[in-house]
Amino acid sequence: MNKSELIEEVQKALGKDTSKAAAERSVDAVLEAVKKGVKKDKSVQLVGFGTFSVAKRAARKGINPRTKEQIKIKASKTVKFKPGAALKAMA
């Protein structure tokens, strides 16, 4: 499912009175809130769905696939998602 399909599902769930534009604003608002929550609190927990959290990646050595030489990869941060029990049960 991509974003436009998600917007269509939200529109269906909200009922016939909801426009596609309103459903898109709703989806965008939720995604923006998750982004802000992860940035500010380092974690967003949606009970029954899952948890978004910030994870640190340590610096490490890698190999450039073109030249086969070793390179240093800097430490970085990424966002991890851990599905909740209800979501796991559906899969």
The string of pLDDT tens digits covering residues 2-26 is 999 999 999 999 998 999 999 999 9
**CA dist list (Å): 33 to 1, 9, 73, 82:** 20, 19, 31, 18
Task: Return the pLDDT at 34.
Answer: 95
Task: Decide if pLDDT at 71 tops 90.
Answer: yes
For the full predicted model, state whether its pTM sits above 0.85. no
pLDDT at residue 16, rounded to an integer: 83
Q: How high is the pLDDT of residue 91?
A: 79
Number of CB atoms found within 10 A of residue 23's CB:
19
Residue 81 has a pLDDT of: 96
Phi and psi angles of residue 88, each rounded to the nearest 5 degrees, phi first: -60, -40
